C-alpha cells in the first residue's frame, strides 16, 4: 500500500506527464515514461492503491486529454482485470463525479459479461451534471 502523500504525488506526476506529451512529436526516446509505467505496475501489484491514484487524478484534473488517456488505459485495464472487485465502487463514484461517467464512454468492452453489462447500464443513465473539461 502506498502512502497518501504518494497517491497525490503519483497522480500529479501522471497528469504532468500526460500534459507534456505532444502527439505530433516523435522523440519517444527523450520521453520519461516513469509516471505511466509506475501506475501500470501498481495496477498489477496493488490494485487498491492504483484505484486511489485513479480517483486522485480524476479529482485533480479537468483535462480532457488526461482523462481520455486514463480511461482508455488504467481504467479499462482495471475493469478487465479486477472488474468484479470494483464495479460497485464504479457505480457509486459515477453518482458523485460525472467526469467518471463520461470517462466510461471511452473504454472498450472489458471485464466479464456481467461487469460489462453494468458498465453499459451506467452509460445509459442520464447526466445530472455537466463536467468542466479543459484541453
Q: pLDDT tens-digit profile of 10-30? A: 999 999 999 988 765 556 667
Q: Mean pLDDT throughout 93-107?
A: 90
Give the per-residue pLDDT at 134.
57
The model's pTM:
0.88
Instruction: Collect all residues with Cβ–Cβ distance below 8 Å to 72 and sequence separation of at least 6.
Output: 106, 107, 108
- Sketch the domain layout of the chain as residue ranges: 4-124
- Whole-angstrom distance, CA of residue 52 vs CA of residue 67: 15
Q: pLDDT tens-digit profile of 59-92? A: 999 999 999 999 999 999 999 999 999 999 999 9
Residue 129 pLDDT exceeds 70: no
- The pLDDT-based confidence of 48 (bands split at 50, 70, 90) is very high
Give the per-residue pLDDT at 79.
97
DSSP result, 91-117: HHHHHH-HHHHHHHTTPPS-S-HHHHH
Query: How is residue 117 written as a grid cell?
Result: 453489462
Choose between 125 and 37: higher pLDDT: 37
Amino acid at each position: 500500500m502506498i502512502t497518501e502523500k504518494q497517491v497525490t504525488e503519483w497522480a500529479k506526476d501522471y497528469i504532468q506527464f500526460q500534459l507534456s506529451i505532444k502527439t505530433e512529436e516523435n522523440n519517444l526516446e527523450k520521453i520519461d515514461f516513469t509516471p505511466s509505467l509506475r501506475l501500470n505496475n501498481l495496477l498489477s501489484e496493488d490494485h487498491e492503491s492504483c484505484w486511489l491514484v485513479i480517483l486522485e487524478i480524476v479529482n485533480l484534473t479537468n483535462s480532457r486529454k488526461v482523462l481520455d488517456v486514463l480511461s482508455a488505459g488504467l481504467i479499462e485495464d482495471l475493469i478487465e482485470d479486477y472488474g468484479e472487485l470494483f464495479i460497485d465502487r464504479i457505480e457509486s463514484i459515477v453518482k458523485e463525479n460525472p467526469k467518471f461517467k463520461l470517462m466510461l464512454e471511452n473504454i472498450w468492452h472489458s471485464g466479464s459479461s456481467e461487469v460489462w453489462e453494468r458498465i453499459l447500464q451506467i452509460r445509459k443513465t442520464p447526466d445530472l451534471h455537466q463536467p468542466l473539461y479543459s484541453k
